[in-house]
Amino acid sequence: MTIVTNIKGVPAHAQPQPRGLSKEQLRKHFLECDADHNELLSRAELKQAFRKLGAVIPAFRTWEGLRCADANNDGCVSRDELEALIDFAYKLQYTSISNK
């Protein structure tokens, strides 16, 4: 029986797992996605943000993110609502941000 290893002598199932982005990295990412700099993340800006995070279906993640974070139901995430969005994205354990 052959066991594949990446770190010498450590079985593959025991290898350190990649860690997700930190909450601070996610905060910075979402703030950078505010294309019109109005301190609100629109549905389109959120969709682009989740696309850059590597979401398989960014529109679905946008819908979920709004459902979790948009407390006043205006269809955008404000600075006051941003922490809830960050918590939501943090639980999804995204590991990188694309430039696309």
Supply the pLDDT for residue 13: 62
What predicted TM-score, i.e. pTM, was given to this entire model? 0.80
Q: How far apart are CA 40 and CA 71, in angstroms?
A: 13
Give the per-residue pLDDT at 5: 47
Residue with tokens 């990295």, as numbered in its chain: 25
pLDDT the model gives residue 19: 77
State pLDDT tens for residues 11-20: 666 655 557 9
Span 29-50, pLDDT tens digits: 999 999 999 999 999 999 999 9
DSSP structural state of residue 17: P
> Which of 83, 98, 77, 79 lies closest to 24 in space, CA to CA?
83
